[in-house]
Structure 1
């Protein structure tokens, strides 16, 4: 019986320690999900997706949806993606994807990369890229979505943006 009491106490201490640790909100310094800069929150997530919220605003005639995403792809790498979807086959579709890095000293986003994809006589266009980036910064993706028919100018245009993800 004397041997069982210390064993039981140790087991209870381990269980209590695990329970107490799970209740803590542990966060490394430099992370702050409450800061919003130019429409994007600074987050600790591994992925963030932005969209035109299921519709074009102001309501467009030709565009159905636009989306973009940024994903942590490992040490010092991000995978970025952007796409534009039309309601039907369109004469012209385009997506311009911008990758921004957050400058903590200046308190704003600065563009570090961009890429455009264009398509004709289709309803979908997309672009993606894996980029090597500086560690210790937040990154986000912004996208401009454009589409329409040649005889109905100007084209519909809208945008999407992700939150910023921290790359260690």
Structure 2
């Protein structure tokens, strides 16, 4: 009889230990999968992020797509990329590329670099730049894309942005 009671107590202890371990592991996995999103960009620990214009209503008649890319290229260096593609040759096509750094104390993005690249009588424009940045922050690329003809009142426009990547 004593052996049965001891066996039952040991079985209950083993089973409860397994349940506690499983719930702690599930809680730890849930915490590590929590992502922070700021102004549409997730804060991630990847080496690369790409954003594409998604709102087809804003693109209009001439603008086909816009892309933005950010990549780690070394210690404290990032490669930034923005491009705009029209459906056909237009009078004007442009990309404005902004590089933003996330400020944890304010919870907002702050612009650290910006540039404009435009072209006439074509369907494509691209702008690239490698930057040396402060380490220990998240960075993203945000672009505004434009395409159109001079005889129209407004150019088609859209935007794209990457997730924020950590620069250690």
TM-score w.r.t. the length of structure 2 is 0.79
- Decide which structure has the larger Cα Rg and report it: 2
2:83 corresponds in structure 1 to 83
Q: Residue 84 of structure 1 contacts residue 94 of structure 1 at CA under 8 Å; is this kept in 2?
A: yes
Q: CA deviation at 1:57?
A: 2.9
Counterpart position of 1:41: 42
Q: Please give the secondary structure, in 2, of the residue aligned with 1:121.
A: strand
Structure 1 unaligned runs (5+)?
1-22
| Count of residue pairs brought into register by the alignment | 140
Consecutive unaligned residues in structure 2, runs of 5 or more: 1-24
Asked if 1 retains the 8 angstrom alpha-carbon contact of 2:142 and 2:162, the reply is yes
Aligned residue in 2 for 1:145: 145
Residue 111 of structure 1 corresponds to 111
1:69-114 per-position Cα deviation (integer Å, ceiling 9, x unaligned):
0000110000000000000000000100000000001100000000
Q: What is the TM-score normalised by the length of structure 1?
A: 0.79
CA distance in 2, matches of 1:159, 1:89: 20
* Structure 1 residues 6-155: aligned runs within 5 Å: 34-53=35-54, 56-155=56-155
